[in-house]
Chains A and B, each alone.
Chain A
Amino acid sequence: MREITYAEAKVEALRDVMRADRRVCLIGSYFLGLSPRRVLLEDIRKEFPGRVFDPPISEGGVCGLAVGAAMAGLRPIVDVTTASFLFHGFPQVINEAANVRYMSGGQLSAPVVFHILHGLRGGGAAQHSHSPQAMLWNTPGLEIALPASPRDVKGLLAEAVHSDNPTIVVDHARLFEVKGEVPEELFSIPFGRAEVKRNGRDVTIVASSLMVQRALEAAGTAVAEGIDAEVVDLRTLVPLDKQTVLTSIAKTGRLVVVDECHRSCGVAAEIAALAAEEGFSQLKAPVKRVATLDVPVPFSQPLERYIEPTAEKILATIREIMR
């Protein structure tokens, strides 16, 4: 199968879902952030005049408009760009989109997709580096997808558009240059199916988004030390594929959770709780978390590096849990 970059796969997904469904439109168009590959999006602009909108800098209004449009029959994909900007749209995402199905007793649905670029992009400092997926996960009613490979970004984006629920596609700018095999045709990856990205016997590393790539890097290094790590990519937080996580824990008996959210009440905390409640009897060692430290994100590179979950920190944690 052909190999393409993550950025190419993502743009291909946007193009294909727009070709397949005239209800799809893009509101905002910085899906590749500040990456030089953003020029790829120009083709979409040319192919679909009248379906790509450059909105005012009004995250609240834009997110709300998209929710209303989705309830009225469109399938909008809103590019909120940097995840930190989603907070301006929180009233509409958290209090309107997530609630509309439930509070209407199932009468209404808002099939809208919100796209955000989360995490440390390098020098983003405190106001451009958030990973809000755990906050979003604490809001029933939202589906949350986090691609970590070129194949996944294409399949998960397509599924997000097909979904009748509000979906957040939590993406990471540091994935754009990753290469991998991607089918040519439009396809969907069903939500709620984690993927074992690397098979191993000794320890399970559960991760999502960019942290999957970091975990794979650490697992590759660990081989030289005789440690065979299994990497489980959650792919979606809502719905959550508990079974794949628990099956892996049953196999290895050890769990390291890697997560770019801040450590307290992050995604890693919930996965650790799952292991404690439903996989405790399988565990040979206490669960370990590798997550962003509990401080606002600093600008200076050595400071940023100090607080983020790196491959080195993951490796050190694997060694510790194997001791």
Chain B
Amino acid sequence: MTSELNQQEAMELLRTMLLIRRFEEGLIQTQKSGISIGHFHVYIGQECTGAAAIALLEPQDKIATTHRNHGHLLARGADPRRLYAEILGKAAGYNKGKGGTLHATVAGLGFLSTSALVGGAVPLAVGAGFAAKQLGERCVSVGFFGDGVLEEGVFFESLNMASLWKLPVVFMCENNSAGALGQSAGEYPGSTIATKQLIDVVAPFGVPASAVDGGDPRAVRDVTQQALARARNGGGPTFIEARTVRWPGSRPLWPELSTGETDVAFAWEPDRIPMAHRDWFANDGLIRYVRQLFDAKLANTKEILALDATVRADLAKAMRFAIEAPYPDPASALDDVFA
């Protein structure tokens, strides 16, 4: 069932992962420079999961995501200029500045509402699966959410209905709590759940569940392919737990570029990694993936560096566009309440 990536697909996946990493790094720097974007969440360290899973979706498929949405939107093909513009509250933003980082969404790419409530997006994803089944559309609904969602009651209600009605839904749980220090350390919360592993709470509902290394795009690709095939063939929902180590910059309440800008050359020159960040970069899915490409001779250092330079140049332009873009007309605050 699973297929190996060809060279073009492998490079495209790298491009998406680099796009997300550089997008988020650029955002943190912009915020540090004094441009207000409100409280925000970045996808650094989880790129492999979103990039690999979303690459498998068909155009008609639906996606529900959360406040940690930038990576999902970019992987699905969102224009970084309009996404940055939205995050900066500009009129050119996808949501005309009404959503910001928390609610950025692109309906034209199959995104449902981007809910910034823990658990909010999960029943929406199940609802899109319900609609697909009722309307006889060959469409799968994928809900991306964090491990904290399993602490919310609505998750279980949604899982139950998806299983009872055999809905074409993929529950993509991105568990980024490994290495999280949590509230007691004055930092962002980590998993607070009595179960030993998350997939244990899913099994009694009769939903197939598997846990994978969220930093391994091939592993994510394999389980996602199986889940999508099951959903499309009327087999109902699947639960995937993609485990990643929390990036140190996402441990504090406000993201910080605490490991510095990622240097892709860390992949082939590990001695260049600063001592303090060796543990993190040894686990970083992006660096691991670059090394795999390099080792498998799917790309040489020159090609990888060139790709990275192109991505960075494009994003610098996108950020400039967003910074220079005008704010919305204040009176437009009254628009878009009703259809």
What residues of chain A have their CB less than 8 Å away from a CB belonging to chain B? Answer: 23, 25, 51, 53, 55-56, 58, 60-74, 91-92, 95-96, 99-111, 140-141, 143, 163-165
Residues of A with C-beta under 8 A to B164 = 56
* Separation of A23 and B135 alpha carbons in the complex (Å): 7
The distance from the CB of B262 to the nearest CB of chain A, in whole angstroms, is 31
The distance from the CB of A305 to the nearest CB of chain B, in whole angstroms, is 37
Residues of A with C-beta under 8 A to B339 = 101, 106, 109, 111, 163-165
Given contacts A72-B127, A140-B337, 10 further A-B contacts (CB under 8 A): A56-B164, A61-B123, A64-B123, A68-B64, A68-B141, A69-B131, A92-B123, A104-B98, A108-B112, A109-B339
Can you offer 29 A-B residue contacts whose CB atoms are under 8 A?
A60-B154, A60-B157, A61-B156, A63-B123, A64-B123, A64-B126, A64-B154, A68-B64, A68-B112, A70-B131, A71-B128, A72-B127, A72-B131, A72-B132, A72-B141, A73-B137, A74-B135, A91-B119, A101-B336, A102-B337, A103-B95, A104-B98, A104-B99, A104-B336, A105-B96, A107-B95, A107-B105, A108-B107, A140-B337
Contact indicator per residue, chain B 82-113, by CB within 8 Å of chain A (1) or not (0): 00000000000111111100010111100011
Residue contact A71 to B157, C-beta cutoff 8 Å: no
Residues of A with C-beta under 8 A to B157 = 56, 58, 60-62
Residues of A with C-beta under 8 A to B251 = none
Q: Which of A61, A102, A140, A163 contacts B160 (CB 8 A)?
A: A61
The distance from the CB of A92 to the nearest CB of chain B, in whole angstroms, is 6
Residue contact B128 to A105, C-beta cutoff 8 Å: no
A-B contact count (CB 8 A): 159
Decide if B197 is an interface residue (CB 8 Å cutoff): no
Decide if B122 is an interface residue (CB 8 Å cutoff): yes
Which residue on chain B has the smallest CB distance to residue A55? B161
What residues of chain B have their CB less than 8 Å away from a CB belonging to chain A? Answer: 62, 64, 93-99, 103, 105-108, 112-115, 117, 119-120, 122-132, 134-135, 137, 141, 153-154, 156-158, 160-161, 164-165, 335-339
* Separation of A73 and B112 alpha carbons in the complex (Å): 11
Residue contact A69 to B128, C-beta cutoff 8 Å: yes
Residue contact A71 to B338, C-beta cutoff 8 Å: no
Which residue on chain B has the smallest CB distance to residue A63? B123
The distance from the CB of B91 to the nearest CB of chain A, in whole angstroms, is 9
Which residue on chain B has the smallest CB distance to residue A238? B338
Residues of A with C-beta under 8 A to B135 = 23, 73-74
